[in-house]
Structure 1
């Protein structure tokens, strides 16, 4: 079943740590049912919750959140597919919540497990390129944990947490600092970590590295001593300050641009794809020497004092380019604050 180790196994330790008697009893019984439905499955902890895996695929997970329990099939398709059977329960695309003293009926758990197994089996018949892409796609915490769950446990839903952390300057904190900041308000270490990771995913801080869909990526963020409208005005009318000397830019979807080559800096070119005035620009970015363009996105976030500018690049050619872009855009953001 689970990998042998000294002391309590992961799920044993999780259940032993629950202080709510009803939740401990309900989730303990759910675990035993999953063992019967999934003989030979590996029991582990994934996304900080008890999880059953079959051939490396997460099939079922469960957790307790202050006042309610949650069941998660690690899929965005299983819960919608069983909409009629789940009538009366609080659901999201990725999970079902229920009171600790009212366990999910065994028949319903069986249906959830069978639906997930069928989905995995169907996915296994797809071409290898499709399977690879699906396997590397990252699940967002905000898709997996419902607004009602986070609000009930912490007092805020996901949008409220994003706004509160932006206002606190969390975009400039590393993960350890962010968790420490959350610990001042959130007692549960599970929720501290979950909110921190969700924020980092939402703000592009957890997308460095390489994925099959977006290649090498990097995110840079700075809070500047400018009002949001002032910062947007500089971005919109002074392209040379962030694209490079000699750059001319028309902020309209489909508009092309070029940055002349100069001593010590290559030229660049690209095309504007998305413009949301005062909020966001998405465009391609291709310096001289790159075979393919990267995607560049600038996102402006108003704050109580000043405004934050988030720069995110994806589809970079390699790790060397990623580090070069991190340094380049860090300098650009610092320069934008100068008069």
Structure 2
């Protein structure tokens, strides 16, 4: 099941990072007239006027849009949908990314791009149905490397669950192989 942004945005963490909780940000943005603003304007306001870090500004913006502008969970600003799942794999960063790349390539063919030297190494595929899939390796933790698989440009909300199920299956397959 695809979750609302608020389900993954901890109110206490938000308050510690920004000085306000979810409901306080929603109320403040309503007072400033943000219901009529687009995504970029809301995020820019949060960064430039309110002094919020860009990462938190994006989260606050998506939460506000879902609560007050009708944005559906997983919906991007262009109207398409995306779904992402992260799994920590018991391997070094590039080894974990390579294992995921092998599994995705076996199912979807060769990637169209890769940047293994990036701050967050990434491999990307353009799929035959017009969607995109990317694998991104996060910084290593004591338990391994979190790797995110993201499917983008899905045409509607109904397609998200099937895409999520495929991503979970791919990550499970890799976890059994490297674990």
Per the normalisation by structure 1, the TM-score is: 0.34
2:49 aligned residue: 94
Alignment of 1:293-312 (within 5 A): 293-301=130-138, 302-312=140-150
Give runs of aligned pairs for residues 30-109 of structure 1, distance below 5 A: 46-47=25-26, 49=28, 51-54=30-33, 56-57=35-36, 74=42, 76=44, 93-95=48-50
RMSD, aligned α-carbons: 4.0
**How many residue pairs are counted as aligned between the two chains?**
141
- Of 210, 213, 217, the match for 2:75: 210
Q: Distance in 1 between matches of 2:90 and 2:43?
A: 42
Task: Please tell me whether residue 142 in structure 1 is matched to residue 56 in structure 2.
Answer: yes
**1:94 touches 1:143 (CA, 8 Å); kept in 2?**
no
1:175 corresponds to which residue? Answer: none
Which structure is larger by alpha-carbon Rg, 1 or 2?
1
CA spacing shift, 1:297–1:48, aligned 2, 3 Å: farther
Structure 1 position 332, deviation (Å): 0.3
Q: CA deviation at 1:223?
A: 1.2
Q: Flag the 1:214–1:300 CA change in 2: closer, same or farther, 3 A.
A: farther
5+ residue gaps, structure 1, are 1-43, 59-72, 80-91, 98-139, 145-196, 202-206, 250-256, 258-270
From the two aligned structures, give the one with the greater strand fraction: 1
Structure 1: 4+ residue segments shifted above 6 A: none
Q: 1:171-220: per-residue Cα shift (whole Å, max 9, x none)?
A: xxxxxxxxxxxxxxxxxxxxxxxxxx57x99xxxxx94323415011011
The higher relative CO (CA closer than 8 Å, separation ≥ 6) is in 2
- 3-state secondary structure, aligned to 2:86: strand
The alignment status of 1:276 with 2:89, answered yes or no, reads: no
Does residue 315 in structure 1 map to residue 147 in structure 2? no
Give the equivalent residue in structure 2 for 1:324: 162
Tell me, what secondary structure is at the counterpart of 1:337?
A: helix
